[in-house]
């Protein structure tokens, strides 16, 4: 149903063909509004109530808070666990808001609004990139709708996660290449954007060979190809190099004790963290007990088995079609390789959290969209293909909305709101608290007349950061007054063997407990 204009040779019908093409053009433009509205409504509705605030969301927000309030990258010792572009963006976004962190109620809501905007833009980019890659609007439409409504996508995309921002930058970098009209500057901007993607989340690097391939095939044979390729790479390199440059300026590039490790005292280091990250493994795809399979079966499969199966299948088919004719079906090849590259990252076996699946989802949707859309385009009658398209989108939407009712109806966040309310009313401002990161900014940022809790520290830091554990708390649980438990935090404490926090927990009694379904949070006082 793309504007192929195949009948324009008929001179008698030229005028009417043009009129018809014009009309279709308008219909097509209107067609983009659909996915954008779906994207907005599906993500905005009940956004502040579901899902539960995740600790990781809190970490990124508190680091953005540190950027704004303390001019540093983390309120704790910055250990180079992630590059900072993500929370620099969050900080910039927060500056724009009239009441900053508290513009939308609890602090994390401001981050979730940013995710809503991120998602709507991502849908636009996914639609346009898909359309331009294979020349099919139907493909873009289907990809966009799946990407917005899949319960798996919806669940994680509402959360303030670096992966969502990284996916946005990757899509933008792709879009700039496929929409480029022979400009070197556009390609340079694409390189800059991809650099930002890498500094948002390093695993974007797995996409780089595919983007490189797309770039190369789109400039090959053009007069500016050298400047295009080199310009893209130089810009990406410049942005990325700012990170080691930052570490170097802080004398934190090389590990303590290495030949060139400049500072003699114990310190964190970028290279040290990188080496450590590379060496961590939690089992590859070959190992049935690995996290890849654990997450696939426990977390991802129940949310949207259809997308996983259809996405993997479409990826395989598109890969075959693309390889069979690389010049005419380059779009198929690029889409399938994008998805395959990230699957390889997930499956290769390293430390992984369940939401790491996020950057894969737009590309699964893209592959399904391409396969389905191009099949429809091949049907002989436009009316037939449009009918099937509308029906298919209707069915997808119905099934998905059925499958994600919690997202639109449930209010889980209320237990966290009640917990915060309780702390503000009952805990003295100077109390030493161990908390999870979900409430961190709510407790540290001053909000009108509400009390501020400067001694509320993340349990991760209490367990691991020498500045908190040894210097502040002298490794003594008696110095802790309260333990604020988020949902299932006890399992996390046990799993990571956070001794100091566990000791405090064992010597504490519950003051208040808030429950909803199987979600349970507590405020506990340490009895000394």
Partner 1 sequence: MSILILAVTALSLAVIVQAAYTVYLMIYTWDQPEAYEAAHAPPAFIEPRLSFTVLLPARHEEEVIQETIERVIRTNYPRELVETIVICEAGDRGTIAKAEEKIASLRKQGFNNVRVAVFDDQPINKPHGLNVGFAQSHGDVVTIFDAEDEIHPDILNIVNTVMVQEGVRVVQCGVQLMNFDSSWYSTLNVLEYFFWFKSRLHYHARVGMTTLGGNTVFFTRDVVERIGGWDERNLTEDADVGIRISLLGERIRIVYDDRYVTKEETPPTLGHFIRQRTRWSQGFLQTLKKGLWMHMPTFEQRLLALYTLGFPTAQSLLALYVPVSVWMMFSVKLPVAWAMLLLTPIYLLLAHYVISVVGLFEFTEAHKLHPTPQTIVKMTLGYLPYQWVLGYAALRATVRELRGINNWEKTAHVGAHRQMAQSGQPAAAGAASGPSEERGTNSGRDRDAA
Stretch that binds partner 1, among 159-167, 206-214, 224-232, 392-400 (CB under 8 A): 224-232
Binder of partner 1 out of 39, 54, 61, 184 (CB under 8 A) = 184
- Measured from the CB atom, the residue of 196 and 462 that comes closer to partner 1 is 196
Residues 6+ apart with CB under 8 A from 269: 80, 247, 252, 253, 254, 255, 256, 261
Q: In the numeric block, which tokens belong to residue 170?
A: 């990757």
- Peptide bond just before 255 cis, omega within 30 deg: no
Adjacent-strand bridge partners of 509: 525
3-state secondary structure 135-179: CCHHHHHHHHHHHHHCHHHHHHHCCCCHHHHHHHHHHHHHHHHHC
Binder of partner 1 out of 79, 121, 242, 511 (CB under 8 A) = 242
Binder of partner 1 out of 99, 183, 328, 494 (CB under 8 A) = 183
What is the chain's alpha carbon radius of gyration, rounded to the nearest angstrom? 25
Sites for partner 1 among residues 57-96 (CB under 8 A): 71
Stretch that binds partner 1, among 28-36, 162-170, 226-234, 289-297 (CB under 8 A): 226-234
- Measured from the CB atom, the residue of 227 and 408 that comes closer to partner 1 is 227
Closest separation between CB of residue 86 and partner 1, Å?
17
- Measured from the CB atom, the residue of 225 and 490 that comes closer to partner 1 is 225
Centroid of chain to Cα 296? 18
Residue written as tokens 């099949």? 375
Centroid of chain to Cα 480? 34
Q: Report how far apart, in Å, the C-alpha atoms of 330 and of each of 133, 181, 384 are.
A: 8, 18, 27
| Structural element, H or E, at residue 511 | strand 508-516
CA distance 174 to 169: 9
DSSP string, 384-429: HHHHHHHHHHHHHHHHHHHHTHHHHH---HHHHHHHHHHHHHHS-T
Binder of partner 1 out of 226, 326, 382, 494 (CB under 8 A) = 226
CA distance 288 to 292: 8
What letters, b where the CB count within 10 A reaches 16 and e where it falls short, cover 357-381? bbbbbbbbbbbbbbbbbbebbeeee
Binder of partner 1 out of 27, 95, 117, 185 (CB under 8 A) = 185
Task: For residue 521, give the 3-state DSSP assignment.
Answer: strand
Stretch that binds partner 1, among 3-11, 245-253, 273-281, 493-501 (CB under 8 A): 245-253
Closest separation between CB of residue 76 and partner 1, Å?
17
Sites for partner 1 among residues 314-373 (CB under 8 A): none
Q: Report how far apart, in Å, the C-alpha atoms of 322 and of each of 21, 341, 369 are.
A: 29, 15, 15
Stretch that binds partner 1, among 132-140, 230-238, 289-297, 473-481 (CB under 8 A): 230-238
Binder of partner 1 out of 98, 221, 223, 517 (CB under 8 A) = 223
Is residue 231 within the footprint of partner 1 (CB under 8 A)? yes
The size of the chain, in residues, is 528
Is residue 246 within the footprint of partner 1 (CB under 8 A)? yes
Q: How many CB atoms lie within 10 A of CB 175?
A: 21
Give the number of C-alpha atoms closer than 13 A to the C-alpha of residue 66, restricted to the C-beta side. 16
Closest separation between CB of residue 57 and partner 1, Å?
26
Is residue 311 within the footprint of partner 1 (CB under 8 A)? no
Residue written as tokens 């969050």? 90
Residue written as tokens 């195949």? 6
Q: How many residues bind partner 1 (CB under 8 A)?
A: 18
Is residue 471 within the footprint of partner 1 (CB under 8 A)? no
Closest separation between CB of residue 255 and partner 1, Å?
19
Is residue 213 within the footprint of partner 1 (CB under 8 A)? no
Closest separation between CB of residue 313 and partner 1, Å?
41
Binder of partner 1 out of 234, 276, 408, 490 (CB under 8 A) = 234
Closest separation between CB of residue 185 and partner 1, Å?
5
- Measured from the CB atom, the residue of 71 and 260 that comes closer to partner 1 is 71
Q: Draw the binding track, 153-182, toward partner 1 (x: CB under 8 A; -: no contact).
A: -----------------------------x
Binder of partner 1 out of 28, 250, 299, 348 (CB under 8 A) = 250
- Measured from the CB atom, the residue of 246 and 490 that comes closer to partner 1 is 246
CA distance 309 to 346: 16
Is residue 220 within the footprint of partner 1 (CB under 8 A)? no
CA distance 226 to 232: 10
Is residue 40 within the footprint of partner 1 (CB under 8 A)? no
Closest separation between CB of residue 241 and partner 1, Å?
8
Is residue 278 within the footprint of partner 1 (CB under 8 A)? no
Q: In the numeric block, which tokens belong to residue 428?
A: 């003295």
Closest separation between CB of residue 204 and partner 1, Å?
21
- Measured from the CB atom, the residue of 70 and 515 that comes closer to partner 1 is 70
Is residue 249 within the footprint of partner 1 (CB under 8 A)? yes
CA distance 249 to 206: 28
Binder of partner 1 out of 213, 227, 293, 490 (CB under 8 A) = 227
Binder of partner 1 out of 79, 230, 294, 492 (CB under 8 A) = 230
Closest separation between CB of residue 236 and partner 1, Å?
13
- Measured from the CB atom, the residue of 231 and 369 that comes closer to partner 1 is 231
Task: For residue 520, give the 3-state DSSP assignment.
Answer: strand
Q: Report how far apart, in Å, the C-alpha atoms of 438 and of each of 55, 205, 215 are.
A: 5, 29, 40
Q: In the numeric block, which tokens belong to residue 402?
A: 């059925």
Q: Which residues bind partner 1 (CB under 8 A)?
A: 71, 182-185, 223-224, 226-227, 230-231, 234, 238, 242, 245-246, 249-250
């Amino acid at each position: 149903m793309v504007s192929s204009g195949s009948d324009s040779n008929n001179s008698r019908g030229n005028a009417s063909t043009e009129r018809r093409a014009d009309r279709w053009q308008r219909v097509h433009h209107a067609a983009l509004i659909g996915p954008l509205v779906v994207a907005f409504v599906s993500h905005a509705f009940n956004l502040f109530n579901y899902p539960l605030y995740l600790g990781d969301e809190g970490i990124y927000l508190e680091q953005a808070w540190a950027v704004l309030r303390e001019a540093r990258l983390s309120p704790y010792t910055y250990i180079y666990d992630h590059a900072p572009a993500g929370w620099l963006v969050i900080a910039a976004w927060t500056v724009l808001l009239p009441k900053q962190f508290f513009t939308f109620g609890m602090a994390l809501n401001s981050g979730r609004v940013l995710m809503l905007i991120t998602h709507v833009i991502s849908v636009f980019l996914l639609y346009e990139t898909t359309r331009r890659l294979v020349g099919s609007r139907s493909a873009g439409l289907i990809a966009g709708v799946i990407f917005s409504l899949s319960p798996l996508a919806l669940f994680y995309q509402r959360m303030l996660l670096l992966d969502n921002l990284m996916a946005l930058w990757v899509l933008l970098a792709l879009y700039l290449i496929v929409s480029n009209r022979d400009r070197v500057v556009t390609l340079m901007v694409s390189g800059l954007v991809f650099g930002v993607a890498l500094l948002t989340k390093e695993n974007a690097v797995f996409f780089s060979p595919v983007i490189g391939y797309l770039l190369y095939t789109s400039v090959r044979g053009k007069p500016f190809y050298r400047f295009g390729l080199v310009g893209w790479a130089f810009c990406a390199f410049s942005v990325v190099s700012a990170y080691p440059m930052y570490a170097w300026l802080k004398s934190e590039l090389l590990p303590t004790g290495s030949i060139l490790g400049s500072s003699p005292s114990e310190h964190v280091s970028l290279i040290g963290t990188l080496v450590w990250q590379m060496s961590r493994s939690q089992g590859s795809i070959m190992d049935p007990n690995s996290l890849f399979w654990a997450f696939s079966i426990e977390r991802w499969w129940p949310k949207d088995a259809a997308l996983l199966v259809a996405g993997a299948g479409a990826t395989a088919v598109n890969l075959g079609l693309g390889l069979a004719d690389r010049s005419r079906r380059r779009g198929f090849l690029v889409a399938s390789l994008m998805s395959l590259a990230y699957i390889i990252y997930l499956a290769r076996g390293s430390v992984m959290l369940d939401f790491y699946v996020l950057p894969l989802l737009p590309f699964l949707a893209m592959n399904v969209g391409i396969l389905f859309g191009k099949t429809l385009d091949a049907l002989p009658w436009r009316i037939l293909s449009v009918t099937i398209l509308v029906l298919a989108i209707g069915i997808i939407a119905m099934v998905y909305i059925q499958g994600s009712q919690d997202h639109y109806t449930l209010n889980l966040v209320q237990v966290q709101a009640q917990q915060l309310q309780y702390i503000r009313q009952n805990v003295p401002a100077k109390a030493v608290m161990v908390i999870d990161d979900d409430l961190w900014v709510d407790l540290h940022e001053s909000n009108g007349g509400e009390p501020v809790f400067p001694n509320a520290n993340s349990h991760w830091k209490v367990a691991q950061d020498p500045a908190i554990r040894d210097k502040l708390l002298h490794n003594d649980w008696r110095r802790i007054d309260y333990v604020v438990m988020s949902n299932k935090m006890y399992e996390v404490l046990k799993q990571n063997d956070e001794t100091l926090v566990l000791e405090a927990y064992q010597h504490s009694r519950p003051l208040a407990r808030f429950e909803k379904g199987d979600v349970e949070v507590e405020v506990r006082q340490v009895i000394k």
